[in-house]
Amino acid sequence: MIIIPNSCYIEIKPGPGGEDSKDWTLVIAKQYICFAKKLKYEINIVRNKKDKELKTKYILMEVKGYKVFEVLKNENGVHKAIKESIYNKKRKVHTSLCLVRILRVGKVTKNKVNRRELRIETFKSRGPGGQSVNKTNSAVRITHIPSGISVECQKERSQMENKRYAMILLNNKLENIEKEDIRIKGKMENWGNINRIYFFNKSFVLSKIKKRKYFNIKEILNGDLKELI
């Protein structure tokens, strides 16, 4: 695979914490969108999967800009929020988690994946509310059967283009797992790998990587990440 240095994927998914964690996932996604705009990076949402209540279950974004992977590579890990829950009548403090993964983008020169180990499905592209936005089955879902890893793409109108993007993403995920020497046994998430903790009641952010506190929590949530990255 030839690595494209000026492009990467940001994958975000909610962890334990119910509805609060789903809301928190969207907050972190907006944080990266604001950060990208500040640096004049191009950012596009490839996949925004929602549940029946239209809460975020999974977000995949593609970012393009000068050496963007090198800029974002240390964002991997769990981003944790400690704040009052709007879903609790007594407004008790609740812990919300979301997992961020930064994935390289590459051009597949030699596909190592055995096509017999793939399940490829097509379906109609859907909008934020779940409604169909395309009359043809242009969206593509590819599942790597041995590992259980599944990727989807519906960003393009062409089924062929969506399949190409999905294959790139699948290869990136498999290669990332191989490099990090992670055994695929069910879920890959490591929810103990904390990157940052946002203490809303105390108005500061604790970076586990930088090993220091930041008291500009509002600015950080609005994409001011230059001191943390």
CA 137/CA 126 separation, integer angstroms: 10
- Answer whether residue 105 shows pLDDT above 70: yes
Both tokens of 124, joined, read 């109609």
How far from 55 is each of 48, 101, 133, 177, CA to CA, in Å?
10, 20, 19, 28
Look at residue 172 in the predicted model and tell me its pLDDT: 77
- Answer whether residue 17 shows pLDDT above 50: yes
Q: Please, is 223 exposed, middle or buried when counting C-beta atoms within 10 Å of its C-beta (0-12, 13-18, 19+)? A: middle
Per-residue confidence band for 181, with pLDDT thresholds at 50, 70 and 90: very low
| % of the chain surpassing 70 pLDDT | 83
- pTM, two decimals, is 0.72
Look at residue 176 in the predicted model and tell me its pLDDT: 65
Give buried/exposed letters for 97-125 (b at 16+ CB in 10 A, else e): bbbbbbbbbbebeeeeeeeeeeeeeeeeb
* Per-residue pLDDT tens digits for 121-136: 998 876 544 444 455 6
Comparing 78 with 152, the larger pLDDT belongs to 78
Q: How would CATH label the architecture of 108-187?
A: 2-Layer Sandwich (3.30)
Within 8 A by CB and 6+ apart from 2, the residues are: 106, 107, 109
CA 190/CA 186 separation, integer angstroms: 12
The H or E element that residue 12 is part of is strand 2-14
Other Cβ atoms within 10 Å of 38 Cβ, number: 13
Look at residue 183 in the predicted model and tell me its pLDDT: 40
Both tokens of 88, joined, read 């609790």
Span 210-217, average pLDDT: 96
CA 188/CA 50 separation, integer angstroms: 21
Both tokens of 226, joined, read 């230059």
Fold of the CATH domain 1-107+193-229: Alpha-Beta Plaits (3.30.70)
CA 218/CA 199 separation, integer angstroms: 11
Comparing 155 with 9, the larger pLDDT belongs to 9
Domain limits of the chain? 1-107+193-229, 108-187
Helices (H), 39-106: 68-72
Phi/psi at 222 (5° precision): -95, 15
- Answer whether residue 187 shows pLDDT above 50: no
Look at residue 227 in the predicted model and tell me its pLDDT: 94
Query: Which amino acid does the sequence have at 84?
Result: E
- Answer whether residue 90 shows pLDDT above 60: yes
Per-residue confidence band for 39, with pLDDT thresholds at 50, 70 and 90: very high
Comparing 14 with 1, the larger pLDDT belongs to 14
Per-residue confidence band for 91, with pLDDT thresholds at 50, 70 and 90: confident
CA 138/CA 159 separation, integer angstroms: 4
Span 32-38, average pLDDT: 97
Look at residue 22 in the predicted model and tell me its pLDDT: 95
* Ramachandran sector of residue 224 (left: φ over 0; alpha: ψ -120 to 50; beta: rest): beta
Span 46-70, average pLDDT: 90
